[in-house]
Amino acid sequence: MYVFVYGSLCSGQDDHHLLREAELVSAQAFVRGTLYSGPLDEPLLREDQHTWTYGELYHIRHSLLSELDDYEGFQPGNEDGEWYRKETEVFSDTDSVMAETFYWNGVTKASISHNDWKVHQFLHQDSYIYFAYGSCMDDARFITQKVHHLFADVIGTGTLYDYRLAFSYHLNDGARADIREGAHQKVEGVLYRINKQALHYLFLREGVEAGAYRPSIVPVEMDDGSVLQAVTFTVLSKKEDMPPPFHYAEEIVRGGERYLSSEYIEALKQRFLDDLKVQHFQEYMEKRSRSYD
């Protein structure tokens, strides 16, 4: 059976140990509903057909459900309590399943930022780790827009495992980069240490308020094996991959070549050439090859 969690049971949170024997199905799962803070500033989910709440989907043994009922303070058969549990449709990047989900009937306070508990907590920090996997690996636009100083603290290269690099945000001139869950795949990127001003710039650049991308907290592995929790951005309404415009592909390659592994960059170039068939990318590569001769 499946369960959807959205608060302290999520990975990296205080009570995640209760799911230590569960199988993570999706770290980018979502259900219809709105997330609120409760009397103790805990996350509480209310049913709402007009919004999405983000969390994690797990496959669990049936006996664990009673432990989760106890944890949430829910008594099966008592549907008049503050907590109730019901089977609801949970979505991921690739599929949807029916999963047990805990909802709240009691008093709430304010709604939670972006309907994502991890993001909500992350935004209360004074500084942040940012994982860039697309055009923000390149500093050309940072310089042009006079924000280069906000992204001067480069920590190094990071790898996001069990995701793939997608191009699923469609604009008139082509697609923009995205991350989508994909087992046994990886996305390399650049890790920056940034402040609130830089994060505000990223929210504007990524079109968060316009509904293009949403912030997400992901575990990124450094070259030394350590794992950092970083904020990144993922497309809200994902579509099938389509070619990005040449200038955008160029930014990704130019920025990535400074930091990412040669194997990853070469695979990306081949993808732009053979799979996505980015216009003018062949001429670009030939020109660069001649300049190296």
pLDDT at residue 108, as a whole number: 87
Nearest to 272 by CA among 254, 291, 246: 246
Task: Give the per-residue pLDDT at 111.
Answer: 92
Q: Examine the fold and report which residue of 118, 148, 182 is the final residue of a domain before the chain moves on.
A: 118
Split into its structural domains, the chain has a count of 2
Same domain, 232 and 160: yes
What per-residue confidence (pLDDT) applies to 186? 98
Quick one: 249 exposed, middle or buried, by C-beta within 10 A (0-12, 13-18, 19+)?
buried
Q: Is 206 a catalytic residue?
A: yes
User: Which residue's structure tokens are 């399943």?
Assistant: 97
Query: What is the pLDDT at residue 133?
Result: 98
Given 100, 181, 206, 250, the catalytic residue:
206
Name the residue with tokens 């920025």. Answer: 255
Cα separation, 187 vs 158, whole angstroms: 8
What residues make up the domain containing 97?
2-118
Decide if 9 contacts 163 (C-beta within 8 A). no
Query: Cα(196)–Cα(173) distance, rounded to whole angstroms?
Result: 31
Whose tokens are 């008093």? That residue is 107
130 and 225 fall within a common domain: yes
Q: Is the same domain home to 112 and 18?
A: yes
Torsion of CA 79, 82, 87, 91, to 10 degrees: 160
Picking from 143, 107, 122, the residue whose alpha carbon sits closest to that of residue 54 is: 122
Q: Per-block average pLDDT, block size 10, for the chain (293 residues)?
A: 97 94 97 93 94 98 95 82 93 94 91 95 94 98 98 98 97 98 94 98 97 98 96 97 98 97 98 97 87 57
Q: Based on the fold, state whether residues 135 and 278 are members of the same structural domain.
A: yes
Nearest to 65 by CA among 102, 15, 105: 102
* Residue 249 in tokens: 């592909």
